[in-house]
Structure 1
Amino acid sequence: MNRVILIVLAAVLSGPAYGWDGTDTETGASIEIGKGNLVREGRDIEIYDNETGDYRDVTIEDINRHGSGVEIEVYDSESGEYRTFEMEDD
């Protein structure tokens, strides 16, 4: 029984295995985290920024879950900026 609970908990905390949509809280740009990215603090992931039409590699600095979704703070080393994404929690 404990093993089943651990497997379910790991699946929930590992982030989506599918694409994930959200918004950059500062610019309002639509952001997509592609399928296959492991969304965890300290991990590098690839995002697609619909405003610029660019794929970017960012480092996840912080993840905060709340009632209406998930807020992810990332560091974009290419621009040297921290960004915050409000992701839809399905």
Structure 2
Amino acid sequence: MTQQQLCRLVVAATIVTTLAAWNGTERESGASIEIEKGQLVRPGREIEYYKDGSYHTMDVDDMRQSGGTVEIEGTDSSGNSITLEMDD
């Protein structure tokens, strides 16, 4: 990851903590995802997200910007790998 890409990722993640909810999609199921305002989304952190009418948690393993999305890879509370594709 280049320094410019890392800066963009930090800016995108910072925006998540200062604006309204961050919307996206769970790659595996195609379900709509919402990460509420105030969540600090960084590798090594646990986040809470809203999907299918309830809240879920995941540990963030990696983040990367790809086109117009930010991919968040992690492990959910059941130990399953999960990828969220969030609008940039």
Q: Which runs of 5+ in 1 are unaligned?
A: 1-7
Instruction: Provide, for residues 25-65 of structure 1, a one-character-per-residue CA deviation record: whole Å limited to 9, x for no partner.
Output: 1100000111100010000111001x2x1101211011011
Counterpart amino acid of residue 30 in structure 2 = G
**The residue matched to 2:11 in structure 1 has which SS?**
helix
Give the 5 Å matches for 1:1-90: 12=11, 14-15=13-14, 16-17=16-17, 18=19, 19-49=21-51, 51=52, 53-77=53-77, 79-89=78-88
Cα deviation for residue 21 of structure 1 reads 0.3
Cα deviation for residue 12 of structure 1 reads 1.1
Between structure 1 and structure 2, the one with the greater Rg is 1
CA distance in structure 2 between the partners assigned to 1:26 and 1:86 by the alignment: 10
**Equivalent in the alignment of 1:3:** none
Name segments (4+ residues, structure 1) moved above 2 Å.
none
What TM-score do the two structures reach when normalised by structure 1? Answer: 0.77
CA distance in structure 2 between the partners assigned to 1:14 and 1:69 by the alignment: 12
- State the identity as a percent: 47
CA distance in structure 2 between the partners assigned to 1:14 and 1:55 by the alignment: 20
* Gap change, CA 1:27 and 1:13, over 3 Å in 2: closer
Structure showing the higher helix proportion among its residues: 2
Q: Which runs of 5+ in 2 are unaligned?
A: 1-6
